Chain A
């Protein structure tokens, strides 16, 4: 699941590329050439390294990250579900495949306070739309839904980017 040995294979050039692209890909016709100039490699090297990091899952993908909130999706709810542990795989896959779910994770329970083991972030234009979508998930899960809640955020207390370990050697 978590490949802990992959970090060992990141070398200085990989780290320099990570550092150079943390804020984003250059918006110029030849972005990999621009990165190469910055890190002191050739464009072919940079492209090969980025392809390799992508093949290994160090880069999940290269692409656009839409801002749900600015695009009008202001109701974002963290839905949490108590599903049988023996069915977590099928339940997680079903829920994760839904278009309105951006992340789905299996996480540990902390009984008796916290009995939920499946988390799914649900996006909608407002809270009502989120609740309708949560009902769709409930129907989809059927008997596997032994209880669920939706936690809406009321306030952002802190928001900074993730510090990338490979980028801070």
Chain B
């Protein structure tokens, strides 16, 4: 990870041009060549320093439903419930966290109305309540992460 890679990550978190040769334009701003930028991006994607390069889509604005949900599961039942929750294709990520609410997952559905349905299905399948915490407001997605 050298200064050029850091400069690329810092700069390209803020956006990317929409024009015929955007890599050339971004590379010129960074003071490097177009091919060098492409090679460095490929390398950083390959070794996973970048998880993605491209357009970031806004799920709700595309008509889908999205919510953060939490459950409180006793340890002796945790694995079994995790398996049942993960079996729902609408569950995108699921994390164990240290708290009374110890299971946190993101639900992504094709329509906003489906969120409530899937929640009920998860409650029926597992026998535990699901706490729905859809965002009421997003303040800022701090996409800047200076290295």
Chain A: residues with CB nearer than 8 A to chain B?
1-4, 6-8, 10, 18, 21-25, 27-33, 43, 47, 50-51, 53-54, 56-68, 70-71, 78, 88-89, 92-93, 95-99, 101-108, 110, 113-114, 119, 123, 149, 151-168
State A75–B70 Cα separation when bound (angstroms): 21
Say yes or no: is B142 at the interface (Cβ < 8 Å to chain A): yes
CB-based contact A70/B142 at 8 Å: no
B window 90-105: CB within 8 A of A: 91-101, 103-105
CB-based contact B134/A108 at 8 Å: yes
Dominant SS among interface residues on chain A: mixed
Chain B: residues with CB nearer than 8 A to chain A?
1, 8-9, 12-16, 18-24, 34, 38, 41-42, 44-45, 47-64, 66, 68, 70, 72, 82, 85-86, 89, 91-101, 103-106, 108-112, 131-147
CB-based contact B96/A155 at 8 Å: yes
Dominant SS among interface residues on chain B: mixed
State A143–B61 Cα separation when bound (angstroms): 35
Report the minimum CB–CB distance from A17 to chain B (whole Å): 9
